[in-house]
Amino acid sequence: MLLNFITGNRNKFDEVAAIVPGLVMMDLDLPEIQETDPKAVIVAKLKEATAHHDGAFIVEDTSLTLDCLGGRLPGPLIKWFLQTLGNDGLHELCARFGDFGVEARTLIGLAEGHDDIHFFEGVRRGTIVAPRGDKDFGWGPIFQPDGETRTFGELDREEKHALSMRGEAARKLAEFLTHG
């Protein structure tokens, strides 16, 4: 079975495709609704896709929440924080509060029909540090997972897959596709 991964982000696609077989990148330009609930964002995109196209689809949303912002922001708005503050700005924000705790959460939604949506989640806690390493994209260089001395930016791809929130969600999806 072919599975369409709706994303414009080649890095995200590669990470999930390394774990889930039969994946096809589908760069539909769906509007991202302004929502802090990742499930609502994913459901809106999947319904839009299944309304106009045949097939099976996945959408992923990875959100980052800072303990210093009540553990609720930026959440799915991380894209806009990164765009405006950058990794240095995010690190400085935590430094101002003296609280570097962070949680990264990937949610993958799978739609095989219009009303049939399954979710797969992966969660990693970590610490926001000054940027280190260039092997990852986005906020990877400032995210040091708990139990690690290196940031995502310093880990090889396979090492990151093994312990990242996206890897965990992708493994749950792969398991579901294999065994139902």
Write out the residues near its own copies by the rule CB under 8 A.
31-36, 41, 44, 69-70, 72-73, 75-77, 79-81, 83-85, 89, 93, 96-97
Least CB distance from residue 167 to its own copies, whole Å? 25
**In 3-state terms, what secondary structure has residue 169?**
helix
Shortest reach from residue 85's CB to its own copies, in Å = 6
Nearer to its own copies, 23 or 90 (CB): 90
Residue 35 vs 103, nearer CB to its own copies: 35
CB burial of residue 137 (10 Å; 0-12, 13-18, 19+): middle
CA distance 101 to 8: 29
The CB-of-29 to its own copies minimum distance in angstroms stands at 11
Can you tell me whether residue 128 is helix, strand or coil?
Answer: strand
1 touches 153 (CB < 8 A): no
Which SS3 state, helix, strand or coil, does residue 77 take? Answer: coil
Between residues 21 and 89, which has the closer beta carbon with respect to its own copies?
A: 89
Q: Are 3 and 25 in contact (CB under 8 A)?
A: no
Kindly tell me which of 35 and 112 has the beta carbon lying closer to its own copies.
35
At its nearest, how many Å lie between its own copies and the CB of residue 22? Answer: 30
